A and B are shown apart, each in its own frame.
Chain A
Amino acid sequence: MKKYDVIINHKGIIDLEVIDDILLKLKNYLHENKIELVIRKRVYTLAVESLDNIYKHADHSIHIQKIISEFPPRFIVEKICDDFVIHTGNIILESNKEKIISKLERINTLSQEEIIQLYKKSLSHAEISDKGGAGLGLIVMAKTTAQKIKYDFDKINDKFFYFAMQLTIKK
């Protein structure tokens, strides 16, 4: 098996069809390369939750199509030795930036045990939005990676930012 591999390198709109294609490709790779079951499922979990986040939360309205063509959503999965690294990117509205930062900062200060407690508490209080999200995606990501979530925001203009996130699964 290669020490370094790019398993998925997607740049462009992320819709349900694209998500299914990516997940199938990822599942096949993990299976064919006989990746350990726990790691396989963690990588898959992170992929589902992060693709879902892009699909449900990216601020994709029709009038920003020009910006999307310049700053397309991205989803990359790399294998580096025994680790897996997922990179995501999507446009967000400036007005949502602070909310995302405060969620991520809060999660990044918690220990793994505290994240599990937060997950349990959030599950019992979660409500499913019209988009079908439970608001648990970031908590599940933190619980699954067991690493701090790296992220960044690049300013596109006064209204939009490009939100990039990096998640790692260590063996």
Chain B
Amino acid sequence: MKTINIASTEKSPKVFFDPRKHVFEMEGNSRPENVRDFYYPIIDTLRDYFEDIAEKQTRSETNNAFNFNFKLEYFNSASAKFISDILVIIRNGYDKGINMKVNWYFDEGDDDMKEVGEDFSEMISFPFSFIMVKR
């Protein structure tokens, strides 16, 4: 079972994935120098994991949901493309019976970050929980 644990830098977010804990988390800024090298392994790990468990699982509301926590401060347009790819994996997993939950965090006063989350939610036709963080 593959996990992800990438520390944040000034230009790239912290990324954490632990299937045993049912958690995926991204936090910080995202404008990595090589956006493909940064995101491809993350996307491959998530896709492989959820495709694999989708075959074994039947949906049950009592199953612990997978929590996807997006705590992003800033991301550039190329990163947005990859974030949308991750969201599509979430949507596909949900369609295959996996209990998924998306938590979209935004700072108090950062209406644009909330709107971006609303746009993503509409794009994949999947409801997000919006969580305002007071600084």
Q: Are B35 and A132 in contact (CB under 8 A)?
A: yes
A119 to B84, CA, bound (A): 12
- Does chain A have a CB within 8 A of B36? yes
Q: Which 6 A-B pairs have the closest CB atoms?
A: A136-B77, A134-B81, A134-B78, A37-B109, A140-B77, A126-B81
Q: Are B78 and A136 in contact (CB under 8 A)?
A: yes
A128 to B78, CA, bound (A): 7
Residue in B closest to A133 when the chains form the complex, CB atoms: B78
Within 8 Å CB of A45, what residues of B?
74, 76
Q: Are B110 and A38 in contact (CB under 8 A)?
A: yes
Q: Tell me the residues in window 120-171 of chain A with beta carbons closer than 8 Å to chain B beta carbons.
A: 120, 123-124, 126, 128, 132-134, 136-137, 139-140, 144
Q: List 13 A-B contacts (CB under 8 A).
A: A36-B109, A38-B109, A41-B74, A49-B77, A52-B31, A126-B81, A128-B36, A128-B78, A128-B82, A132-B33, A133-B78, A136-B77, A140-B80
- Does chain B have a CB within 8 A of A48? yes
Q: Smallest Cβ distance from B70 to chain A, in angstroms?
A: 15
Residue in A closest to B11 when the chains form the complex, CB atoms: A20
Q: Are A128 and B112 in contact (CB under 8 A)?
A: no
Among candidates A41, A52, A116, A136, residue contacting B80 with C-beta atoms closer than 8 Å:
A136
Q: Say yes or no: A120-B76 contact (C-beta < 8 A), given A37-B107, A132-B34, A136-B81.
A: no
Q: Are A38 and B84 in contact (CB under 8 A)?
A: no
Q: Smallest Cβ distance from A171 to chain B, in angstroms?
A: 14
Q: Tell me the residues in window 19-52 of chain A with beta carbons closer than 8 Å to chain B beta carbons.
A: 20, 36-38, 41-42, 44-45, 48-49, 52
Q: Tell me the residues in window 39-97 of chain B with beta carbons closer than 8 Å to chain A beta carbons.
A: 74, 76-78, 80-82, 84, 88
Within 8 Å CB of A52, what residues of B?
31, 76-77
Within 8 Å CB of B11, what residues of A?
20
Q: Smallest Cβ distance from A131 to chain B, in angstroms?
A: 10
Q: Are B110 and A37 in contact (CB under 8 A)?
A: yes
Q: Smallest Cβ distance from A20 to chain B, in angstroms?
A: 8
- Does chain A have a CB within 8 A of B18? no
Q: Smallest Cβ distance from B112 to chain A, in angstroms?
A: 6
Q: Smallest Cβ distance from B128 to chain A, in angstroms?
A: 15
Within 8 Å CB of A126, what residues of B?
81
A136 to B116, CA, bound (A): 14
Q: Tell me the residues in window 1-30 of chain B with beta carbons closer than 8 Å to chain A beta carbons.
A: 10-11
- Does chain B have a CB within 8 A of A67? no
